[in-house]
Structure 1
């Protein structure tokens, strides 16, 4: 595994020729990661690493350079925090100086399977495991394919900013410059920062071309029908899209243009907490040589991963190439969707397992992006807590949510898909009183939708939310379909429902107030 010397012109910002590992295959990256003590291997052959103090993204340390290109369109605020051009340039120089003299890693890749709108990337990383992540997650060019990178990503966990000098909040940071087409990530080894920074770039660029960027999973049936699954972390996007009866397009990030739904990525980044072979066999089998596990723990005295052990974080993850899923679609592109699902894990236990939405309701729920945190998942949370992430991806969207909502409305207007709200959370009461809806029931609901059975069902209107819910569904007890009927204390359901509905109203009022 010899290093390659690359000239300064090929690596913008580096003033001298640099020794680096260029476009190494996964097996070599794993060997180097082990040699550099970045991690160890599991019984399944996956590389296992710890990402240090950061086991997730740090949204308050994500910035966008405020310049002539970004000043008008970016939705500035607590999500899109402005950063000065001069400070960015100074930080860029310091990061390249830090990496100079080190044998770092360089990879060329693409983001986006639509060749007309994809972006080409040069990803420069300090660690071999980061380069393995980039290999897994982004689109790998053919050996004979020449890549002329438009965007540069520099990720160096060992480089820590001086907040007093660099104008960052902390030593860690993730900064995007649209004018310089450069992303700087430092002070954190959490690989998801790389993935989501590139997603943010696409979320800025693609709406200008009339393409809707989406934080969603997607799959395609044997008859050619596509489906997309919107949802926040923990609601079931990856699990439900990995359906053995359907072809996987992707598990997290997609675009919807005039003719297709296409994956942005060449791999998957799945949560592994409580992963088991019985419930998620495709993901379980994808964890093998070449996969990268993050922040998992082993059974004592063994190299077998204990997916129930969350001593490091609830956000344990694995990345792997898309073709590690047995029925992944190649290329991962499908037609416009016939079904759209909005997934929510309602910890208040008041939303139904399934409801059919009107176009107006669809835009409402899309704009809200609701799910709930349950007691115990974070310090200080003692009861269910509503969480809203506009368009199911507020943290990665540089533009105002209304931009994405209008694009979705236009797509729905043109293609007339069926739209469904799916609650993968609780019924029979809130978290702690009720029980979580069984995965087998949710899968039965999806199957009934894909076969057309649920379109034939008789419906009734659920008060408070005015949702149309089926009175029957194959494979699921009829008593579970109306959430009010599942509560032992019938008098307690409606106050809880009104409480959540009021949260919806307040959140929507706040969003509407921000539209210029």
Structure 2
């Protein structure tokens, strides 16, 4: 069976309908000529993804093969798929591809040469191929000539699975086979599935090499001071790490090795909803020829309307990291000195910034609290309170303790300072309060990184136990303590206790956690 499948794929890829490693202009031209996308007034390629405008987590599977048994944290996130069902789907996908015109990208996941994974991505759509070309690490001419892919991603948006035949939950599927070293994606045009599937693969591979894989962005200052920004989609990783005064290492996925941190990707995937040149000039200016807009409303004059959520709240743009001035190429730097946990608190009760002890850092890393924002997943239409372990549980094949223990060791070894930053709501819950002022958040993050918060006094939150600075340069002191921003103080207390109770209920699912970590969370009297 294995020989037949590999031979069939090789045969398919040897026809004259296969386009290998086309240039950006060639892919843009193909996308437009095939009616897949249009060009905007800024030269960016713009495509729509139909009914799937976000990830489809309930349609993700890992093939239950002998080599992964005992390693995968099986459950709702990592659903097992029977080998025979995968084989049937694989054969049917290859049959579907047999007469198709295809686009192939060969490159790497991982900017550090000693840890990078050679990948091949086979696309039914030309615009998908441009997307992955811009998102992953692009090889130079010599590297391309000698590149031997170790993992292959096959995307077939036009192929719909049959659950009764293929063992899927719907027509959509995102399936990883670690033994075959293949990812199958079908029934969805959403390009983010390709990006996140490779991240899931790296989250399985890197820890085996002693490297912590992280769902975070990273930047570095002139003195080599590295900062990490953990957080789920929409919490501000891309926005806050894209700082004109610091070099961007990467905006979403990184590894932390014995040598330092490195970008897993070669591009950025930024949210566009309410994007403005004034607030986010670097991202704004990165949207030009070679970038790919996803589900952004384009008017008749080909101008983008970033304020429109007509198609989805989850509007996106993909572009190479070197579209950001001063980006670090290759995306490799030293060990972080500051770690920021980002949360978009829809309850509006967490402080806009607070300092964490190591034990609190471990508690909040395991908790991974935020609010899922509209559009990032199917069915999410307004912010929902959620706990995503390690700020990235949808992409973690291994037990969360693997990643948490590695982070704890690195915080200790490199004496990193950890802060919790709320980019969510202030002055009330979602719908009542307002989203945290971005300029204030930037000022708070800057103060954390440059050491200004080392010089101020702190007060302790009575419920969450967090250390809240009494002052931050450039930020009104009254916004630093969330209770002060609410008109109804009693309602704040009730809401804070409610959220604290949610933390406690969520954390109760963890077993074997050190007592000092388990006790570092909020206290409900």
Q: TM-score range by the shorter chain?
A: over 0.9
Distance 1:246 1:112 in 2: 21
Q: Go from structure 1 to structure 2 and tell me whether the alpha carbon gap of 1:394 and 1:514 turns closer, same or farther (over 3 Å shift).
A: farther
* 1:318, distance to aligned residue in structure 2 (A): 0.7
Distance 2:88 2:161 in 1: 11
2:62 pairs, out of 47, 50, 64, with: 64
* Post-superposition CA distance 1:254-278 (Å, at most 9, x none): 0001121100001011111111100
Distance 2:162 2:381 in 1: 36
Distance 1:149 1:292 in 2: 25
* Post-superposition CA distance 1:473-496 (Å, at most 9, x none): 110111111112222222222221
RMSD: 2.1
Q: Is the 8 A contact 2:234 2:373 kept in 1?
A: no
Q: Is the 8 A contact 1:348 1:384 kept in 2?
A: no
Q: Go from structure 1 to structure 2 and tell me whether the alpha carbon gap of 1:383 and 1:115 turns closer, same or farther (over 3 Å shift).
A: closer
Distance 1:188 1:480 in 2: 42
Equivalent position of 1:210 in the other structure: 210
Equivalent position of 2:126 in the other structure: 128
Equivalent position of 1:264 in the other structure: 264
Number of aligned pairs? 507
Q: Is the 8 A contact 1:347 1:374 kept in 2?
A: no
Equivalent position of 1:4 in the other structure: none
Distance 1:67 1:204 in 2: 14
Q: Go from structure 1 to structure 2 and tell me whether the alpha carbon gap of 1:443 and 1:258 turns closer, same or farther (over 3 Å shift).
A: same
Q: Go from structure 1 to structure 2 and tell me whether the alpha carbon gap of 1:39 and 1:384 turns closer, same or farther (over 3 Å shift).
A: closer
Equivalent position of 2:391 in the other structure: 392
* 1:450, distance to aligned residue in structure 2 (A): 2.3
Q: How does 1:478-489 map to 2 (within 5 A)?
A: 478-489=477-488
* 1:291, distance to aligned residue in structure 2 (A): 0.6
Distance 1:64 1:376 in 2: 24
Equivalent position of 2:519 in the other structure: none
Q: Go from structure 1 to structure 2 and tell me whether the alpha carbon gap of 1:97 and 1:375 turns closer, same or farther (over 3 Å shift).
A: closer
Q: Go from structure 1 to structure 2 and tell me whether the alpha carbon gap of 1:87 and 1:338 turns closer, same or farther (over 3 Å shift).
A: same
Secondary structure at the aligned position of 2:153 is classed as: strand
Distance 2:206 2:225 in 1: 24
Q: Go from structure 1 to structure 2 and tell me whether the alpha carbon gap of 1:70 and 1:381 turns closer, same or farther (over 3 Å shift).
A: closer
Q: Is the 8 A contact 1:13 1:96 kept in 2?
A: no
Equivalent position of 2:317 in the other structure: 318
Secondary structure at the aligned position of 2:141 is classed as: coil
Q: Is structure 2 residue 460 aligned with structure 1 residue 449? A: no
Equivalent position of 1:233 in the other structure: 233
* Post-superposition CA distance 1:344-395 (Å, at most 9, x none): 1111111111100000000111111111257999999899631111111110
Distance 2:33 2:374 in 1: 41
* Post-superposition CA distance 1:74-117 (Å, at most 9, x none): 00011101011122122222212211122211111100112222
Secondary structure at the aligned position of 1:204 is classed as: helix
Q: Which runs of 5+ in 2 are unaligned?
A: 515-525
Distance 1:332 1:10 in 2: 36
Q: Which runs of 5+ in 1 are unaligned?
A: 1-7
Distance 2:431 2:187 in 1: 38
* 1:511, distance to aligned residue in structure 2 (A): 3.3
Equivalent position of 2:81 in the other structure: 83
* Post-superposition CA distance 1:230-287 (Å, at most 9, x none): 0111111100000000000000000001121100001011111111100110001000
Q: How does 1:334-353 map to 2 (within 5 A)?
A: 334-353=333-352
Distance 1:331 1:63 in 2: 32
Q: Is the 8 A contact 2:426 2:436 kept in 1?
A: yes
Q: Go from structure 1 to structure 2 and tell me whether the alpha carbon gap of 1:15 and 1:323 turns closer, same or farther (over 3 Å shift).
A: closer
* 1:168, distance to aligned residue in structure 2 (A): 1.1
Q: How does 1:166-185 map to 2 (within 5 A)?
A: 166-185=166-185
* 1:306, distance to aligned residue in structure 2 (A): 0.2
Secondary structure at the aligned position of 2:445 is classed as: helix
Q: Go from structure 1 to structure 2 and tell me whether the alpha carbon gap of 1:379 and 1:32 turns closer, same or farther (over 3 Å shift).
A: closer
Q: How does 1:277-316 map to 2 (within 5 A)?
A: 277-299=277-299, 301-316=300-315
Distance 2:291 2:73 in 1: 36
Equivalent position of 2:413 in the other structure: 414
Secondary structure at the aligned position of 2:508 is classed as: helix
Q: Go from structure 1 to structure 2 and tell me whether the alpha carbon gap of 1:373 and 1:183 turns closer, same or farther (over 3 Å shift).
A: closer
Q: Go from structure 1 to structure 2 and tell me whether the alpha carbon gap of 1:379 and 1:110 turns closer, same or farther (over 3 Å shift).
A: closer
Q: How does 1:191-206 map to 2 (within 5 A)?
A: 191-206=191-206
Equivalent position of 1:17 in the other structure: 14
* 1:325, distance to aligned residue in structure 2 (A): 0.7
* Post-superposition CA distance 1:161-210 (Å, at most 9, x none): 12221111111101100011011111111111111110000001111111
Q: Is the 8 A contact 1:374 1:431 kept in 2?
A: no
Distance 1:197 1:225 in 2: 30
Secondary structure at the aligned position of 1:404 is classed as: helix
